[in-house]
């Protein structure tokens, strides 16, 4: 049996800190609601804190007003988070400090490659181009640095995910040296996430399996920055019998304005929690009370083999 969040051995556990960290690229959708409820129930059922962070570090991809809409929708669904909302767009100085620390440790190098020059390199698992290491040993004369990359150490990163099981990735082979400071001057998502989680004392990261590919890179950064590694649980994404993701049809539909109790019950069902029939009709407080009392992480399926049923 894999390690399951919430099951503690004889060691006295420290305080649990979970978080939900949506990107404001549009309204809250079903997949985000799965991550929100899963992370919240995991933390709360262990008596822990649940934090909220808006991942707007990628300013050009942030849609004006989307973050406020996400917060309103979460409140409408009855979510209550601890402390103030953290906005990545306001934390550039903190990311720079971590960046300078890595630079001082000779973990970074400047890269002059343009998108066009990268276009012929192999595709990494997440669909981005694998960096071929062109500038790793120094820039050719006359080349102008555009971005800064992490000098990724060789070897596999291994971690045990509470839902997905053991994950192994050779980041250097699969992704290559990845960007921490982009050509447009913005710090990369991977760096921001690791710095934010470390500073907030996050002990468990519960999020969608669409982010599983990012985790080995984030663990590498945690190690290089001397930050503790949180526990990970990557929640299922919907897939058909052939294993193809169905994010377009199910996870991506917006949930704004939908009946909260019915939709939360749908998410519970999606997460394998077997909510009793009639729960949705008993109202939002009853749904929350049942969820907190009956949260069973061991029931979460690794993959959903059918689209979530549409009750609403």
Residues at the interface with Zn ion (CB under 5 A) = 111, 113, 134-135
Please answer whether residues 138 and 98 qualify as being in contact, where contact means their C-beta atoms are separated by less than 8 angstroms. Answer: no
CB of 177 to Zn ion, least distance (A): 8
Shorter beta-carbon distance to Zn ion: residue 111 or 150: 111
Would you say 66 or 135 has its CB closer to Zn ion?
Answer: 135
Which of residues 133 and 201 has its CB atom nearest to Zn ion in the complex?
A: 133
2 catalytically annotated: no
> What is the closest distance, in whole angstroms, from the C-beta atom of residue 113 to Zn ion in the complex?
3
* CA angle at 296 for the pair 290 and 297, rounded to the nearest 5°: 135
Q: Residue 170 Cβ, how far from Zn ion at the closest point, in Å?
A: 20
- The least distance separating Zn ion from the CB of residue 61, rounded to whole angstroms, comes to 23
Tokens 């190098």 correspond to what residue? 109
Q: Looking at beta carbons only, is 29 or 130 nearer to Zn ion?
A: 130
d(CA 268, CA 280): 11
* Least Å from the CB of residue 83 to Zn ion: 40
Catalytic residue among 2, 103, 116, 248: 248
Structural tokens at position 184: 């447009």
Residue 161: strand pairing partners: 165, 232
Closest CB 112 distance from Zn ion, rounded Å:
5
Tokens representing 172 are 């250097």
Of 13, 21, 16, give the one whose Cα is nearest residue 43. 16
C-alpha closest to that of 234 among 253, 214, 263, 250 = 214
Q: Which residue's CB is nearer to Zn ion, number 101 or number 143? A: 143
Query: Phi, psi at residue 126, to the nearest 5°?
Result: -85, 10
Give the residue with the Cβ less far from Zn ion, 51 or 135. Answer: 135
Q: Name the residues annotated as catalytic.
A: 248
């Amino acid at each position: 049996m894999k390690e399951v969040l919430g099951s503690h051995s004889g060691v006295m556990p420290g305080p649990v800190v979970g978080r939900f960290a949506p990107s404001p690229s549009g309204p809250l959708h079903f997949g985000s609601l799965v991550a929100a409820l899963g992370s919240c129930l995991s933390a709360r059922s262990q008596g822990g804190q649940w934090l909220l962070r808006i991942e707007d570090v990628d300013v050009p991809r942030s849609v004006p007003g989307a973050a406020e809409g996400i917060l309103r929708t979460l409140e409408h669904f009855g979510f209550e988070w601890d402390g103030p909302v953290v906005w990545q767009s306001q934390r550039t100085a903190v990311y720079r400090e971590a960046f300078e620390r890595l630079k001082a440790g000779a973990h970074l190098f400047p890269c002059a490659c343009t998108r066009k020059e990268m276009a012929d390199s192999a595709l990494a698992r997440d669909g981005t181009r694998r960096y071929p290491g062109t500038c790793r040993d120094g820039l050719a004369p006359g080349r102008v640095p555009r971005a800064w990359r992490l000098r990724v150490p060789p070897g596999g990163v291994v971690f045990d995910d509470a839902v997905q099981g053991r994950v192994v990735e050779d980041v250097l082979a699969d992704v290559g040296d990845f960007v921490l400071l982009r050509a447009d001057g913005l710090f990369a998502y991977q760096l921001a996430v690791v710095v934010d989680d470390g500073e907030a004392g996050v002990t468990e990261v519960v999020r969608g399996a669409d982010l599983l590919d990012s985790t080995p890179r984030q663990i590498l950064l945690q190690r290089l920055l001397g930050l503790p590694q949180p526990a990970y649980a990557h929640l299922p994404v919907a897939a058909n019998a052939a294993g193809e993701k169905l994010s377009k049809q199910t996870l991506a539909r917006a949930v704004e304005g939908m009946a909260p109790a019915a939709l939360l019950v749908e998410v519970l069902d999606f997460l394998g929690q077997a909510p009793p029939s009639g729960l949705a009709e008993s109202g939002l407080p009853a749904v929350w009370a049942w969820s907190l009392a009956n949260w069973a992480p061991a029931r979460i399926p690794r993959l959903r083999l059918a689209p979530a049923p549409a009750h609403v």
